[in-house]
Structure 1
Amino acid sequence: MQLADRVATITPSSTLAITAKAGELAAQGYDVIGLGAGQPDFNTPDFIIDAATKALKAGHTKYTPTAGLPELKQAIIGKLKRDQGFLYDPSQIIVGNGAKHVLYLLFQALLNPGDEVLIPAPYWVSYPEQVKLAGGVPVPIKTTQDQAFKISVDDLKKTATNKTKALILNSPSNPTGMIYRREELEPVAEYCLKHGILIVSDEIYEKLIYNGNTFFSIAQISDEVKANTIVINGVSKSHAMTGWRIGYAAGDAKLIKAMTNVASHSTSNPASASQYAAIAAYNGPQESVEQMRQAFEKRLNTVYDRLIALPGIDCLKPQGAFYLFPDISKAAVSCGFSSVSDWVAALLDEEKVAVVPGAGFGAPEHIRLSYATSLEKFETALDRIEHFIRKHTK
């Protein structure tokens, strides 16, 4: 059987690959500590689960409108108004099966073959693959730790061409945890407006901000910038609802309609029970969001100092999300490995600690560690990593 050419261009998710390998070892009886998870280790709050259960018992088990329940659209509109002061119409909102699905719909509706999408690197592993699946060309913009892993307008001037269709901004970032400030976003927004480049603002981690930092959406700069931005968000990270698969986009009504048309021929609609759960998440009490944020902040502040004290490891302290993204290239060399990916594989094999190599994020010198796990497990993992480094250091 000959597969479609587009499938051959896809790079498998390094996150899912390391998680699968760790799962195999755990099934064999090994005590594996997985630091690859991109999801909160908290359960969905009870009031949200209760709302979904109530909806199911009331018979809300049927198809819904493709772009989402009107009640959920209103809940999302209310959330965006409360948090960022945005005003949206229901025609400017689409609900999908998670933010990942919404991004997929966006690129399918937006890109023609050869259209370029600027993607700051390090990046979330699925951005370039989704662009390729839509016939587009992902164009990474390399950033460094000295830049706090953030692009500037000078980077855009060097990278953008007459084929550039969109720019993806992810703040707080997966995998770096960095946050863009308003003064950093304003010249980027102005450049995109001037050159007709759509801004894709992935804000899925907006509620997970630490140590006095604040979140600012690029769409808050002005009405003109808002009109040139499609905001991507969802309840997965903020309300510990990854498995419920509810994400959404807010933006230009014409683009939202096109995305809805694509969804109508692929998934029909998000799961009805999940939509009622998301309504409760946004319309209900928000104390659980803050409690989870505080727990992540405590973990970050506890493990960060311990991590950077390890030989050959350098790490910029994250401002948000729940990942550490250290440069371990010196540790890999001192341990006698030819690449960070080899170091990662040996760590899992010998110490049963699963981390994600940075190559899939466009930063092969780094690894990603998720502190969306218990503090006890993370500290045990650091003990094992330290043992591994000292054992191999030549």
Structure 2
Amino acid sequence: MSEATALAPLVLSDRINAMQESQTIAMAKKARELAAQGVDVISLSFGEPDFQTPQYIKDAAKKALDEGFTFYTPVPGYPDLRQAICDKFKRDNQLDYKPENIVVSTGAKQALANAVLSLVNPGDEVIVFSPYWVSYEEMVRLADGTTVQLVGSLENDFKVTAAELEAAITPRTKLIMYSSPCNPTGAVFSRQELSAIAEVVARNPQVYVLADEIYEYINFVGEHVSIAQFAAIKDRVITVNGFSKGYAMTGWRVGYLAASKEIACACEKMQSQITSGTCAMTQRAALAALQGGRSSADEMVEAYRRRRDLVLELVKEIPGFRTPTPSGAFYIFPDVTGYFGKTTPTGEVIKSAMDLSLFMLHDAHVAAVDGSAFGAPNCIRFSTAAADEKLREAFIRLKNSLAKLK
């Protein structure tokens, strides 16, 4: 090949080079690679229900295909689905929205990204309650914003307080991001806690709130409180939810947000240039899910509660794990610093949660995600969404493997 026709070296964008791969996906990939080699790996890395999507939702999707729902859809979603989402907010959250306030997206992840990209300018500060879901920081980075991690203490179930938030706000603060119930900790903010946080936001009119409520139905303490319920800040709150967790619809990729008309229109504009409208068949399934109520979700929640309690009992047998009791979601998030400085049977020193998670993968054949991906490098996240027998086997393996560390 001549010099004239030689290909220049590939130079990727600074944007993609700066972006980190999702650690939950990366660990799941490692687990699959081991499994492909014939290793019996128990994966507790993914936040995915092990339940099938309820049959009535599947039937609605099949019916939609037969009825010809195979064409492009409106960018913000079908009008009847958006109205059903408004009805859901009224029923479950005592919030009044119109369809013009709703944007349906390809999963809650896209709804979050739409909101961040629509609000954040280069140099804007985004306060992220930490520990946080892995993609928050990357979304802020993509928008050229600056992430300010606000770390909740283990003693307070990792929850940030209103006083801590107030101390972190500066004139450059544009957005606050948090989840409740929280991924990865399972912490749930109470009405009193969110009321105090809302008062802080009300005193700072330049600040918006992005509330991730994807685990709303997986709540073990009763009341779920949406921060948009506090009238003084409702128009500055973007509430994100979806169907993946409560309805076991992870592969369907459908989520939504509710916001002021101006923000919803901005998110619609953003989505129109990236993916356009969400899959037609999926939207009809989502409509059926909402119309069917939440009884199927409530049945799953009882199973998640039982699994949480099972895992907490098993973890008591593992010295060195400091594990708060999750109030929602389907994870435990123990502090594992008790193992730092210990040595494996082959002589490697455990210096971090990443080291420990890799040791557990290769010795116990249990996959979990180290906490650095969530802004908590002293912790490891284990999903409790697996079947009871898999959870029992996984934590017996972990107990035996961790006992080898000296």
TM-score tier by shorter-chain length is over 0.9
* Residues paired across the two proteins, number: 391
Is 2:317–2:399's contact at 8 Å kept on the other side of the alignment? no
- Counterpart-to-counterpart distance in 2, 1:354 and 1:44: 24
Give SS of 2:274's match.
coil
Q: Which amino acid aligns with 2:297?
A: V
- Counterpart of 2:368 in structure 1 is 355
Give CA deviations for 1:350-373 in whole Å, capped at 9, x if unaligned: 221101100100111100000110
Gaps of 5+ in 2: 1-9, 344-348
Aligned-pair distance for 1:285?
Answer: 4.3
Tell me the distance in 2 between the aligned counterparts of 1:157 and 1:301. 35
Match of 2:92 among 68, 77, 83: 83
Match of 1:48 in 2: 57
User: Residue 296 of structure 1 aligns with which residue?
Assistant: 304
Between the aligned partners of 2:60 and 2:392, the Cα distance in structure 1 is 36
Consecutive unaligned residues of structure 1, counting only runs of 5 or more, are none
Q: Contact conserved, 2:31 with 2:361, CA < 8 A, in 1?
A: yes
Encode CA deviations 1:126-168: one digit per residue, 9 max, x unaligned. 0010011011111100222012211112212321111100111
Instruction: Spell out the pairing of 1:275-294 with structure 2 (5 A cutoff).
Output: 275-294=283-302
Per the alignment, residue 34 of structure 1 pairs with 43
Quote the offset at 1:199 in angstroms: 1.0
Question: Pick from 199, 202, 213: which aligns with 1:203?
Answer: 213
Secondary structure of the 2:175 match is: strand
Partner of 1:255: 263
Instruction: State the shift of 1:384 in Å.
Output: 0.7
Q: What is the aligned counterpart of 2:156 among 147, 151, 165?
A: 147
Alignment of 1:155-304 (within 5 A): 155-196=164-205, 197-210=207-220, 212-221=221-230, 223-304=231-312
The equivalent of 1:25 in structure 2 is 34
| Code of the aligned partner of 1:128 | E
Paired with 1:17 and 1:295, the residues of 2 have a C-alpha distance of: 27
- Alignment pair present for 1:116 and 2:129: no
- Looking at structure 1, the residues matched to 252 and 387 of structure 2 have their Cα atoms a distance apart, in angstroms, of 22
TM-score by length of 1: 0.97
Q: What is the alpha-carbon distance in structure 1 between the residues aligned to residue 151 and residue 25 of structure 2?
A: 24
Q: Quick check: 2:152–2:161 contact (8 Å CA) kept in 1? A: no
Partner of 2:116: 107
State the Cα deviation string for residues 296-330 of structure 1 (Å, max 9, x = none).
00111111022133111110000000000001110
- 3-state secondary structure, aligned to 1:167: strand
- Please provide the CA RMSD for this pair: 1.1
TM-superposed deviation, 1:16? 0.6
Q: Distance in 2 between matches of 1:192 and 1:229?
A: 10
User: Which residue of the partner structure matches residue 386 of structure 1?
Assistant: 399
Judge conservation of contact 1:311–1:331 (CA < 8 Å) in 2.
no
What SS class does the counterpart of residue 216 from structure 1 fall into? coil
**Displacement of 1:286:** 2.7
Q: Which amino acid aligns with 2:60?
A: A
Please tell me whether the aligned partners of residues 60 and 272 of structure 1 are also in contact (alpha carbons under 8 angstroms): yes
Post-superposition Cα deviations, 1:322-356, rounded to whole Å, max 9, x if no partner, equal 00000111024345411121111111112211011
SS at match of 2:341: helix
Q: 1:312 aligns with which of 317, 320, 328?
A: 320
Question: What is the CA–CA distance in structure 1 between the aligned matches of 2:316 and 2:253, rounded to whole Å?
Answer: 35
**2: CA distance, partners of 1:163 / 1:286:** 40
The code of the aligned residue for 1:344 comes to: S
CA distance in structure 2 between the aligned counterparts of 1:294 and 1:364, rounded to whole angstroms: 31
SS at match of 1:168: strand
Aligned residue for 1:15?
24
Identity of aligned residues (%): 41
Q: Distance in 1 between matches of 2:223 and 2:80?
A: 29
**SS of equivalent residue, structure 2 residue 163:** helix
- Any idea what SS the aligned residue of 1:67 has? coil
Deviation at 1:214, TM superposition (A): 2.4
Letter in 2 for 1:246: V
- Per-residue CA deviations over 1:211-269 (Å, capped at 9, x if unaligned) read x4421111122x22222211100111000001111110001100110110111111011
